[in-house]
Amino acid sequence: MVLAIDIKQITKIFDNKVKALDGVELEVNAADVFALLGPNGSGKTTLMRILTTQFRPTSGNAYNFGIDLIRNDAEVRKMIGYVPQETSVWADITGFENLLIYSKIYGVPSGSRKKIISDALQSMGLEEPANDLVRKYSGGMVRRLEIACALMVKPKILFLDEPTLGLDPSARKAVWENLTIFKKEYGTTIFFNTHYMDEADHYSDKIAIIMKGKIVKCGTANDLKQSLRSEALQFGLNCNALDKTALTKIRALDFVRDVLFHDSELMVVIENERADTALPKVMEVLMMRGIQIERIAMARPTLDDVFLKYAGPITKIPECCHQIRGCGRQIRMCGHNDVKKN
């Protein structure tokens, strides 16, 4: 299979001290949508800037469709489109005028500009407001205009750095619906950075997680979820601190793989199908120490859990949990999981 992107041991050190990328190895198949997830400062933008030939790596190499992006950067630039993390259109001119400027920058011949701009506007659903000033656009429209600018060259690979950052759910959906139609028509490979797990889950063929400049996990959303081979019991407690002995006791229980505590939320990661055995034992440890349990939740791994496992601490209970009232206690659990409530 042809690789759209082939990254070999890329390292980037800024100012001889900040190691932003540390031996990144990654392969992206042609015509795939590929999501790169990682916490702030993990190296996502730096990697994208290398892949779009804006930065040179300190060491290592990378190829876009077999073309060496260090030796043949001009060739690579001809086949890529790029939408940066920061705003890249002018607000005091119209959408059409923005596209016109970019068409000139990209060297689109004057005879074909009108048609190409019209196609790009149509691809992103922006025909109607094309002649309005961009300052009147919503955030979602601005982002779609930026993507339209990048689509004019019909790129083989489209790089999007946080394409839907700050947009509401319907604006995010509109961006992805338009992108999906474009991708289907032109077979474009899409490589995007994001903090939105749901987008990576819904729209990408493959996902990589980057942490401190290293790829810590890569695969399909399902591969990543299954790699945890676990479920999570989550407890809302009436205290903001748990002593070390309680944590050690829970960690030592059968089937418990991991225990995380943050801001009165305790997450106990257990082996698949072991909730019936593990739940009463964890509750016993907590109750023996006089800790009141306010909520219990049970969830199969989501991409959030995958991300938290490989790239960060527990911050929230997965949205799949809903509330059930029973036995004088509030219990939250997934509808499809069969956990005893008392």
Ligand X SMILES: Nc1ncnc2c1ncn2[C@@H]1O[C@H](COP(=O)(O)OP(=O)(O)OP(=O)(O)O)[C@@H](O)[C@H]1O
Q: Which residues form the interface with Mg ion (CB under 5 A)?
A: 44-45, 85
Residues 6+ apart with CB under 8 A from 97: 90
AA identity, residue 153: V
46 binds ligand X (CB under 6 A): yes
166 binds ligand X (CB under 6 A): no
164 binds ligand X (CB under 6 A): no
Give 41 or 169: the residue with its C-beta nearer to Mg ion: 41
d(CA 309, CA 331): 24
d(CA 47, CA 28): 14
CA-CA distances (angstroms) from residue 189 to 3, 60, 282? 10, 22, 47
Site for ligand X in 199-218 (CB under 6 A): none
- Stretch near ligand X under the rule CB under 6 A, chosen from 13-21, 105-113, 120-128, 221-229: 13-21
Among 40, 110, 170, 342, binds ligand X (CB under 6 A): 40
Among 10, 33, 37, 44, binds ligand X (CB under 6 A): 44
Beta bridge mates, 297: 234
CA-CA distances (angstroms) from residue 160 to 65, 74, 86, 217? 18, 20, 11, 20
d(CA 100, CA 231): 52
Give 210 or 296: the residue with its C-beta nearer to Mg ion: 210
d(CA 117, CA 127): 10
The listed partner (Mg ion, ligand X, none) that binds 46, CB under 5 to 8 Å by sort, is: ligand X
Q: Are 320 and 227 in contact, with CB atoms under 8 Å apart?
A: no
- Quote the least distance from Cβ 230 to ligand X, whole Å: 27
57 binds ligand X (CB under 6 A): no
- Stretch near ligand X under the rule CB under 6 A, chosen from 37-45, 226-234, 278-286, 298-306: 37-45
287 binds ligand X (CB under 6 A): no
d(CA 65, CA 341): 55
Interaction site with ligand X (CB under 6 A)? 14-15, 18, 20, 38, 40-46, 85
